[in-house]
Amino acid sequence: MPRAALLLTLILPCALLPAQAAPGAHQHGVVTLEVAIDGAELSLGLRAPLDDLIGFERAPRTAAERQAAAELLRSLRAPGALFEPSAAAGCTLAAATVQAPVLEGGAAGADHAELVADYRYQCAQPQALRGLKHRLFADFRRIARIDAAVAGPRGQALHKLKRPADTLSWPQ
């Protein structure tokens, strides 16, 4: 077996480690955001305790809770200005996937439940990507901190954003 191929199989899973936070291990008030820049594609992976987004981590029980859950899912599936990549990069949203099984009639798990959202943008000028403005703190008052991992052509970096910081920047 070529040595290089063996090394790659060993190294690649480690590069993805920040994505692997186990459900139930979360800390209320802290969401994680994975940012990956790959060619013209910018992808964002948001993982948040449901408590931070809607105030409970179980199936909705009342009409008001069901409505709040539906509105949350609808708004995150059309995120609008929730995330704004550098304007000069000319990024447009190409795909959005939002999953929160507990809110959608799925099996309730243990004590905690999360929402996972993935967004993919296509950028006309990806080299102009310098950062991202976000409205997570503005729209969700329970979120106190964002642990962001950025992976791009210049390597990887971890950033901790504390309320009210609304911009995630990375060196170009």
Which residues here bind Zn ion, judged by CB under 5 A?
49, 51, 57, 112
Residue nearest to Zn ion (CB): 112
Which is nearer to Zn ion, 31 or 132 (by Cβ)?
A: 31
Q: How far is the CB of 19 from Zn ion (least distance, A)?
A: 19
Which is nearer to Zn ion, 45 or 49 (by Cβ)?
A: 49
Q: How far is the CB of 25 from Zn ion (least distance, A)?
A: 10
Q: How far is the CB of 108 from Zn ion (least distance, A)?
A: 12
Q: Is 160 within 8 Å of 150 (Cβ atoms)? A: no
- β-strand partners of 41: 38, 122
Which is nearer to Zn ion, 34 or 57 (by Cβ)?
A: 57
CA separation for the pair 136, 84 (Å, rounded): 11
DSSP per residue over 67-130, as a string?
HHHHHHHHHHHS-GGGEEE-GGG-EEEEEEEEE-GGGGTPPP-SS--EEEEEEEEEES-GGG--
Q: How far is the CB of 104 from Zn ion (least distance, A)?
A: 17
